[in-house]
Every structure is written in structure tokens, then in C-alpha cells.
Amino acid sequence: MEHRPLKPDADTREHLVVIGNGMAGCRAVEELLARDPSRYRVTIFGAEPRVNYNRIMLSPVLAGEKCFDDIVINDAAWYADNGIALVAGDPVAAIDRAAKTVTARSGLVETYDRLLIATGSDPFIIPVPGKDLPGVIAFRDMDDVDMMLAAADAGGDAVVIGGGLLGLEAAHGLSLRGMKVTVIHLMPTLMERQLDEAAGWLLKNALEARGQTILTGADTAEIIGTGKVEGVKLKDGTLIPASLVVMAVGIRPSIQLARDAGLAVGRGIQVDDHMVTSDPAVLAVGECVEHDGQVYGLVAPLWDMCRSLADGLVEKPSGYRGSVTSTKLKVSGIDVFSAGDFSGGDGCEDIVLRDASRGVYKRVIVKDDRIVGAVLYGDTADGSWYFDLLKKQKDVSDLRDLLIFGQAFAAGGGAADPKAAVAALSDDAEICGCNGVTKGQVVSCIAKGAHSLDAVRGTCKASASCGSCTGLVENLLALTLGDDVQSGPKTMCKCTSFGHDDVRREIVAQDMRSIPEVMQKLHWATPDGCSSCRPALNYYLLCALPGEYVDDQQSRFVNERLHANIQKDGTYSVVPRMWGGLTNPRELRAIADVVEKYNAPMVKVTGGQRLDIFGIKKEDLPAVWADLNAAGMVSGHAYGKALRTVKTCVGSEWCRFGTQDSTGLGVKLERMSWGSWMPHKFKIAVSGCPRNCAEATIKDFGVVCVDSGYELHVGGNGGIHVRATDLLCKVANEQEAMDYCAAFIQLYREEARYLERTAPWIERVGLDHIKARIVDDDLGRDALRARFLFSQSFSQDDPWAQRAEGAEAEHHAPMARFIPQEELA
């Protein structure tokens, strides 16, 4: 179907007249044609004598990176092919809504059935003396670019008024074209609408390094010159010479035509959700409109508006709901991005990453676990991802820790290449949260010779506390050193070249009996080890030599030495054992008495169904224990690499769902296994039915009772890395459940590395290995169980009772007291 332009008599279709041949006007027509190519006869009026081009790309044209033909969106053939009449270079001067006509500057009159106003915006010219001098221009269309190019050919000085996006792009282009450019910006930082203060400051420094002069907080008083521009005078009296002044202080919706036609206007032409103005026959779209009180100066909302407009024109109204905007730009070759609200305020939290040497700044603003704004400078790769999270209002609490590192890292999971993600981190990115170590510090520590994980741990402390960043550190080692990483089995610590497994094997093989003997025979590099290897060796010897090895108190962490948990103020917390989570009036009374007698400031119910008494002084511990012992309570080992708690539900005794006596089994398991030292802490739970109220499937050993018996689960963890248990097997009765539990604990005690929980241990050796040893090998299981019970015969000796009776008293009492006042007296 061919409809040639300007043959109105032959064409009976409704006539759509578009005022504006820019991005919005043409996009609206494109959207319309996509929906129904033949519904309307279309005429477009354009002020510029050109086809439709991409205004955003004027900057690359100015910079010499592109020419006009490169930025054309729709060429002359497009108008012809679609039967669109283009009236270019002849702007519409008046609208007569009563007659439904428009009149162009040339006097051409066109009637319309529907009128679309897409006049865009006008550059704002600050009303200073000299603003009309030749050589003072805006930066809005191709004509402005041509004038700037002509000025640049003559060389000399240029002043750009306005340090927003447009002004900076003009400055960059003129600078590249050889002019000496000064940017005058009224506000204290550049691009304050898109960038926060920090990013604005980085940008200013970068532009200055490129040779531009940036004056912020500078207010223009007048533009001087006779006959043509000669310079700009600031209110503080500074005079800046210039043969070209580019006024780029902002844009205003172009609404004069609409206002003269009597349409409702505010800041822009007011439209409803279907882009219809106060006159149902007249529509408006783009930067010239005001929708729901908002005007937009960016291109993305325009696309949304054009879709809604076209839907309305073909009578399938969808409705425009406003846009959340983001800005992703290249300013003078520097990537910047901003989206949403970055002004901060109540309830907003900032997550900030700075990497000064790489010129990267990232800031994500989070409120109520949702991203409300983002500012990126230097590296905007993740801008769209943040913007997507912002628009979708996604809960980011799960991603929060890694959010600032970007999508590949935070959302990558197993899919992303972790090494690439680590490589992409900036030097200021925090690697180790426990010790506050940044990537830069880790890398510099590696560069200084720490060529193994343990060496890194020893020098900069990264991964030396909770170890959850070990993978990151290992990737940094690989990235920094390539093949030179000292890998192989990880050494126990920097005191030895042996790994944990080697040391354990040698302890048994050579029948070593003390820590000094191990250090001697295995050529320890340090005289008496360190705080990493000594506790490990002490445990390995204790496990290998039950009843024979004498525990080395000085090789235990303070909590295990003092049988209480040290708190950050130097006081201790005390958790008496409550078998299977059961207690009675006598125990509760004793606890209450202790709390009052020793002024404990807090008592807390723990996650393990016990009571934790806080704020006990080191000197008072033996007396506290004596009081608790008197009521029949023993140490809960809440401080140790040992059996902690056995959590239970009420089971068949009380619960209508209970299938077995979970409480009773829990008490039996706790009685069997309390007091045993292990590679790490060990938690057990018993649930009376599959509802699993005791959370047995995140414990090291969990029993879930079912009608037909007992499911045994192993290797769960509810800590930093949550891991649900693996099902080990199902057994028929309580005794079997206890036997398997004892065997499993002993296997863990004998094979896991010190400070390795059951979860990573099982992941390392594989569930099949555990099953082969515990389920498939009856004799082996019995032997393991027997070894555990033998070991327990030495370990079930309440450490509190021993100390309450005076053992290890020196740990609790000061050696001497010194009272300065008495000395003076």
C-alpha cells in the first residue's frame, strides 16, 4: 500500500500530524507503524532541515568520533517507504484547535484529526548581559555543533557554562578539537543531579588531568565583548577570555506552542497516562510533557511514553505509569552511572567501594533491604544490574555482603568464574571482614613473599579468623602468582611444611607422645609453635592417646582453658549442661541464685536449649561452678571444640505427632557423648517426627524419628555456610541410633582436621566414605564405637568440679595485687 505524501484528497484515513522530527516524535511514529502501519496518514513537521537523528550522539560528532550520517536514525527512505510526509526546516508556528489546523512558519497550513506535539525542550539561557552576543551558543542541535566546530577550527579559548552532562560533553569535544576549555559550574560539584559529591570530585580531578580548567561554585556575572564574545566575567571579578561561550546550564520543556494554543501546561504540557493533553484530539510526548507532575530529560522514559501513546492511538490503551530513570554515560571517556535517589536520608544505608588507584567509585544506597539508588564512577558494568534490582524493588538482603562487587560476584554462585570475579574487585574491596583486610593489602602481602595461604594469614591476617574468605585469598594467590603458588596439601601453619593429615599420620606411626616431640621430629620451624598449631597438636595427641596424654593447658584457647566463654569486655559467660534441654526447679533456682549472687547482668536462653549466664568475672568462675555443681549441674562445654548441646523436641511423651521418645533419646545421646573433645564443636539434635522441631537436619548429627525407626542425618550446619544434613541411614531402635552416633563421632574425631566442622569434612571426604565406614562395615563401626566409649571413660570428668575444688587455681586468681594508695600511705 503506497500512500504518497501530501495527497490528502485521495486519502480518507485519519490524519496524524506530528510537531517535532526529533527522537520522541519519530519514535512515536515508529511505535504506531509497528502496531498498525496503515491506520493513519502521517505528516511530521521538523524545525531542523534534516531527517531524524540521534541527539544523544551529538557529543561524539563534536568530539570527531562520528559524522552526521552515523547518527541518523531514520533516513529519507524511511519517510518515503512509510508514506510519511516530512516538512523539515519549517517549524510549526501556531495551532488552531477549533479549526484543527497547524500553521508553519512558511505559512503552510495542514489540517489534522489527531495532533501529536513532540517539541522536546529548549536550552535554558541564563539572563546575563551579553547573552545575545555572536559566539554565545547552546548545545542542543546539529547547528550548534557546526558552530562549535567552526569556532574550534579558529582555535583559542572556550568557556562552557554548566558542569552538567551536556556542558562536560561540549567541553570534552572542544578540548579534543584543540581549544583551551574552562568549565564554569555554579554548584560545588560537577553533575550534581547525576553524581554524588564523591563521584563529582573524582570526575573533576580526572577532567583537570585532561587539561580542562574546572571552576566550581563559580557564578557568571556577564558575558563581555563588543560585536562578538570576548570573555566571561564571574561575580567574584575573575575574567576568563573566550572566543566561544557554550551555554549548557540546562533545558526547559518547549511548551510555548501548546500554551499559545490554550492547552493545559505546568512545567510541561500536561498529559494523562495515554499521553493525551487537555484536548482529546491533541497528544504530546517526550521531554515537552509533564506526566503526573514529572518532566523527564532523559531518553529512556521517552521510549516508555511512546509505547503507551501508540497503544492509545490504535485503541488498545495500556497507560504510562511514569519512569524510574537511570543515567549511564561516558563523560570524556569516563564511565559514570547513576540511578534512583542517592541523596541519602533517614533509613538509607550506603554501601561504598572506593578504588582510588583504578579510578573506581561505587555507591549503592539501600533502604529496607531494597536498592533505592546507585552511583557508579569509572566502572559502570553493573549499572544495569543495580538498576534492574532497583526497578523491581528486589529484596537484596541475601546479596548484601557481595552487592557492591557486582553481579558476577554477588549473583554468580557457581556459574561465574570466581577468579575473574576476584580479579574484577578493586584494591579497596574488603576480602576479610573479620580482620578488615582489603584486596590491595592481600595482594601486597603476596607480592612481599607470602606465597601460600598460611603465609598470607600470618602476615596480613586475611582468612585467619573465621576462614570464610579462604577461597577469595586462594584466588588472589593464584591471580598474583600464577603457577608459583605454594600449593599441595595446605600446611598446618607457617611453623611446618606438613599438612594436618601428614602430622596426624606421623603422630600415630611414630607413636609421638607430646607436643615438643612432634615439633622436634617433624622439624618445626619455630621453637614452640604458634596459636594455630599448638591447639591442633594438643587435640591430635589427646585423640590418639586417650587416658595417657596429659592435656597441655597452655596449648588451649582461653575458653577451653577457663571452661567458659571469654566476652569482649574480658568477662566470661557460663552455660551449665541441661541434658536434652530438660531442666527442673532445683537447677533453675541454682541458676537464679548464681545470677543474683554474682551480679550477672544478663541471662539468655541459647539456641541450644540452655541458659547462658553472662558477665562473670574470671576470679568468680570457680565459685560459680561450685554453686552450679551443688545443684547437680556440670559444664555445658559451650566454650569448647567438643560436644555442645543435644537439642530435642518433646516427642511421643507429650506431642500428638511424636513417633518416638525423642527427649529420652536426646538425653541418652548427651550422657554418652558429653565431655568428648573434637576437632571442632559438635551439635546433636533429636526430632520426634519428620516435622523436625529440633532442627536436626542442620546439626552435625541429627536424628529424625519416624514410625518405623530412626533416620540418622550427618554433616549439617546452621552457621556461616548453611548446610542441610546428608541422610546417613535409617536404623530400627534407640541402641542402634546410639551406636551409629558413637561411631560417627569417633570417625570425625580421628579423621577430620582440627577446626574442620563435620559439614566441610564430609564435603571433603565424601558421604560415600562415611557410609562405607559407618553403615557398610559392621566390624569397623563396632571398633569405632568401642574406641569412642574407651576415650569417653577418661573424658567424662566435669572440668568445673575439678576447678571448683581448686585445680588450676592460678588460671583464675591474680598473682599479686597492687594498691597505689596504700603504697603512698
Of residues 398, 389, 334, 392, the one with CA closest to residue 364: 389
Closer residue to other proteins in complex, CB, 362/561: 561
Indicate whether 438 belongs to the interface with other proteins (CB under 8 A).
no
Binding segment (CB under 8 A) for other proteins, from list 479-487, 530-538, 577-585, 757-765 = 530-538
CB 103 within 8 A of CB 17: no
Contacts of 807 by beta carbon, 8 Å cutoff, 6+ apart = none
Indicate whether 527 belongs to the interface with other proteins (CB under 8 A).
yes
Indicate whether 441 belongs to the interface with other proteins (CB under 8 A).
yes
Indicate whether 491 belongs to the interface with other proteins (CB under 8 A).
no
The H-assigned helical ranges of 92-249 are 142-154, 165-176, 197-209
Minimum distance from residue 459 beta carbon to other proteins (Å): 5
Closer residue to other proteins in complex, CB, 111/470: 470
Q: Grid coordinates standing for 721?
A: 555456610
Minimum distance from residue 679 beta carbon to other proteins (Å): 18
d(CA 218, CA 232): 11
Q: Give 223's Cβ-side CA count (13 Å radius).
A: 27
Minimum distance from residue 438 beta carbon to other proteins (Å): 11
The 86-105 contact track toward other proteins, x by CB under 8 A, reads --------------------
d(CA 158, CA 563): 76
* DSSP notation for 318-381: --------EEEEEETTEEEEEEE--S--TTEEEEEEEETTTTEEEEEEEETTEEEEEEEES--T
- Residue 793: how many other CB atoms lie within 10 Å: 11
Buried b (16+ CB within 10 A) or exposed e, 531-540: ebbbbbbbbb
Indicate whether 460 belongs to the interface with other proteins (CB under 8 A).
yes
Minimum distance from residue 604 beta carbon to other proteins (Å): 20
Indicate whether 461 belongs to the interface with other proteins (CB under 8 A).
yes
d(CA 334, CA 109): 47
Indicate whether 534 belongs to the interface with other proteins (CB under 8 A).
yes
Q: Give the one residue of 250, 322, 458, 690 binding other proteins; rule: CB under 8 A.
A: 458
Indicate whether 708 belongs to the interface with other proteins (CB under 8 A).
no
- Residue 208: how many other CB atoms lie within 10 Å: 12
Indicate whether 343 belongs to the interface with other proteins (CB under 8 A).
no
The H-assigned helical ranges of 522-661 are 533-544, 558-562, 585-597, 621-630
| Residue showing cell 595461604 | 453
Q: Give the one residue of 435, 470, 652, 796 binding other proteins; rule: CB under 8 A.
A: 435
Indicate whether 531 belongs to the interface with other proteins (CB under 8 A).
yes
d(CA 112, CA 462): 72
Binding segment (CB under 8 A) for other proteins, from list 5-13, 199-207, 770-778, 812-820 = 812-820
Query: Could you tell me which residues are beta bridge partners of residue 682?
Result: 643
Minimum distance from residue 465 beta carbon to other proteins (Å): 7
Span 548-567, contacts to other proteins by CB under 8 A: 553-559, 561-562, 566
Minimum distance from residue 648 beta carbon to other proteins (Å): 32
Indicate whether 465 belongs to the interface with other proteins (CB under 8 A).
yes
Q: Give the one residue of 570, 585, 605, 806 binding other proteins; rule: CB under 8 A.
A: 570
Q: Give the one residue of 237, 414, 806, 820 binding other proteins; rule: CB under 8 A.
A: 820
Closer residue to other proteins in complex, CB, 226/821: 821
CA–centroid distance for 576 within its chain? 40
Minimum distance from residue 444 beta carbon to other proteins (Å): 9
Q: Give the one residue of 292, 528, 548, 797 binding other proteins; rule: CB under 8 A.
A: 528
Binding segment (CB under 8 A) for other proteins, from list 319-327, 403-411, 433-441, 605-613 = 433-441
Closer residue to other proteins in complex, CB, 468/583: 468
d(CA 131, CA 125): 7
Minimum distance from residue 815 beta carbon to other proteins (Å): 4
d(CA 670, CA 664): 10
Closer residue to other proteins in complex, CB, 395/528: 528
C-alpha Rg value of the chain to the nearest Å: 38
Q: Give the one residue of 176, 530, 729, 789 binding other proteins; rule: CB under 8 A.
A: 530
Provide the binding-site residues for other proteins, judged by CB under 8 A.
434-435, 441, 445, 458-461, 464-465, 526-531, 534-535, 553-559, 561-562, 566, 568, 570, 810, 814-821, 823
